[in-house]
Structure 1
Amino acid sequence: MYAPDDPTTPSRHILTPSTLNRLVRDLLEDALPMVWIEGELSNVARPASGHLYFTLKDSGAQVRCAMFRPKSGYLKFRPVDGMQVLVRARVGLYEPRGEFQLVAEHMEPAGEGALQREFEQLKARLDAEGLFDLGRKRTLPAFARRIGVITSATGAAVRDVLSVMSRRWPLAEVDVLPVPVQGREAPPAIVAMLRKASASGRYDVLLLTRGGGSLEDLWAFNDEQVARAIHASAVPVVSAVGHEVDFSIADFVADLRAPTPSAAAELLVPDAQAIARHLRQLQQRLGALHQRRLQSLIQRTDHLLARLQAQRPQARLQRDRERLLHLRHRLAALMRDQSQRRHARLDRQHARLLACHPRLRLPLLQRRLQEQERRLRSSIEHRLEREQLHLKQLARAMHAVSPLATLERGYSILFDAEGRVLRSALGVAAGTSLRARLADGELPLRVCED
Structure 2
Amino acid sequence: MTIQPSSNRALSVSALNRQVKSLLEHSFLSIQVIGEISNFARPSSGHWYFTLKDAKAQVRCAMFRNSNQRTGFVPREGDEVLVTARVSLYEGRGDYQLICERMEKSGLGQLQQAFDALKAKLDKEGLFDVARKRRLPPHPKHLGVVTSPSGAAIHDILTVLKRRFPGLPVTLYPTAVQGAEAAAQIVSAIELANRHNQCDVLIVGRGGGSLEDLWPFNEEIVARAIVASAIPIVSAVGHEVDVSISDLCADQRAATPSAAAELLSPDRHALTLRLSQLKRRLESRISWQIERKRQQLLGTRQRLRHPGEKIREHMQALDRLELRLQRGMLRLVQQRRTHLAQTTQRLARLTPTRRIEQSRQRLDQIEQLLPRLIQRHIERSRLRLAQQSGMLHSVSPLATLERGYSILLNPAGQAVSSAEQVTPGDRLDARLHKGRLTCTVESIETGE
TM-score interval (norm. to shorter): 0.5 to 0.7
How is 1:43-442 mapped onto 2 (pairs within 5 angstroms)? 69=62, 76-77=75-76, 85-90=81-86, 105-309=101-305, 314-315=396-397, 327=412
Instruction: Give the conservation status (yes or no) of the 8 Å contact 1:240–1:258.
Output: yes
Q: Is the 8 A contact 2:35 2:81 kept in 1?
A: yes
Unpaired runs of 5+ residues, structure 2, are: 5-20, 41-48, 69-73, 90-96, 308-391, 415-448
SS at match of 2:107: helix
Asked if the contact 2:201–2:232 (Cα under 8 Å) also holds between the matched residues in 1, the reply is yes
State how far apart, in whole Å, the 2-side matches of 1:53 and 1:256 are. Answer: 42
Structure-2 separation of matches of 1:315 and 1:326 = 20
Q: How far 1:140 moved relative to its partner?
A: 1.4
Query: Residue deviations 1:81-130, cap 9 Å, x none?
Result: xx97533134899xxxxxxx987544444213322332233223322322
Distance 1:198 1:303, change over 3 A: same
Structure 2: how far apart are the matches of 1:273 and 1:317? 64
Q: CA deviation at 1:300?
A: 3.5
User: Could you tell me whether the CA contact under 8 Å between 2:61 and 2:98 is conserved in 1?
Assistant: no
| Local SS of the residue matching 1:209 | strand
Rate the CA distance shift 1:200–1:216 in 2: closer, same or farther, 3 A.
Answer: same
Note if contact 1:66-1:104 (Cα within 8 Å) is conserved in structure 2: no
Is the deviation greater in 174-183 or in 115-124?
115-124
CA distance in 2, matches of 1:217, 1:175: 24
Partner of 1:398: none
Look up the SS of the partner of 2:83 in the other structure: strand
Point out the more displaced range, 136-145 or 104-113.
Answer: 104-113
Larger Rg: 2
Per mean C-alpha deviation after superposition, the further-off stretch among 289-298 and 169-178 is: 289-298
Question: 1:27 deviation in Å?
Answer: 12
Residue 309 of structure 1: SS of its match in structure 2?
A: coil
Greater displacement, 195-204 / 114-123: 114-123
TM-score by length of 1: 0.53
Question: Contact 2:143/2:200 (CA < 8 Å) preserved in 1?
Answer: yes
Cα offset, 1:294, TM superposition: 2.3
Residue deviations 1:375-431 (CA, integer Å, cap 9, x gap): xxxxxxxxxxxxxxxxxxxxxxxxxxxxxxxxxxxxxxxxxxxxxxxxxxxxxxxxx
SS in 1 for 2:213: coil
302-311 or 164-173: bigger deviation:
302-311
Counterpart in 1 of 2:349?
none
Task: Give the 3-state SS of the residue equivalent to 1:213 in structure 2.
Answer: coil
User: Structure 1 27/124 Cα, relative in aligned 2: closer, same or farther at 3 Å?
Assistant: farther
Within 2, Cα distance between the matches of 1:195 and 1:123?
23
Contact 1:67 1:103 in 2 (8 A): no
1:140 alignment partner, SS class: coil
Judge conservation of contact 2:160–2:258 (CA < 8 Å) in 1.
Answer: yes
- 1:307, 1:171 → 2: CA distance? 56
User: Structure 1 residue 209: deviation in Å?
Assistant: 2.4
Q: Give me the CA root mean square deviation.
A: 4.7
Aligned pair in 2 of structure 1 residues 56, 71: CA closer, same or farther (>3 Å)?
farther
User: For the residues of structure 2 that align with 1:227 and 1:67, how far apart are their CA atoms?
Assistant: 42
Contact 2:62 2:98 in 1 (8 A): no
Aligned to 1:164, what secondary structure does the other structure show? helix
Aligned-pair CA distance for 1:302: 3.8
Given that 2:85 and 2:102 are in contact with CA atoms closer than 8 Å, whether structure 1 keeps it comes out as: yes
Name structure 1 gaps, 5 residues minimum: 1-14, 19-24, 58-63, 94-100, 330-450
Offset from partner CA, 1:316-342 (integer Å, 9 cap, x none): 5998x997795269xxxxxxxxxxxxx
Deviation at 1:40, TM superposition (A): 7.1
Within a 5 Å distance, the mapping from 1:13-52 to structure 2 comes to 34=30, 37=32
Tell me what 1:380 maps to: none
CA distance in structure 2 between the partners assigned to 1:195 and 1:154 by the alignment:
21
User: For residues 314 and 206 of structure 1, do their structure 2 counterparts lie closer, same or farther at Cα, with a shift above 3 Å needed?
Assistant: same
**1: distance between equivalents of 2:271 and 2:52?**
66
| Residue 189 of structure 1, CA deviation | 0.5
Secondary structure (helix, strand or coil) at the match of 1:218 reads helix
Residues in 2 aligned to 1:129 and 1:140: alpha-carbon distance in whole angstroms: 23
**Could you tell me how far 1:225 is from its partner in structure 2?**
1.1
Aligned-residue sequence identity (percent) comes to: 43
SS of residue matched to 1:238: strand
Q: In 2, Cα distance between the equivalents of 1:180 and 1:309? A: 84
SS at match of 1:149: strand
* Counterpart position of 2:322: none
CA contact (8 A) 2:176 2:186 kept: yes
**Cα distance in 2 between the residues matched to 1:219 and 1:143:** 31
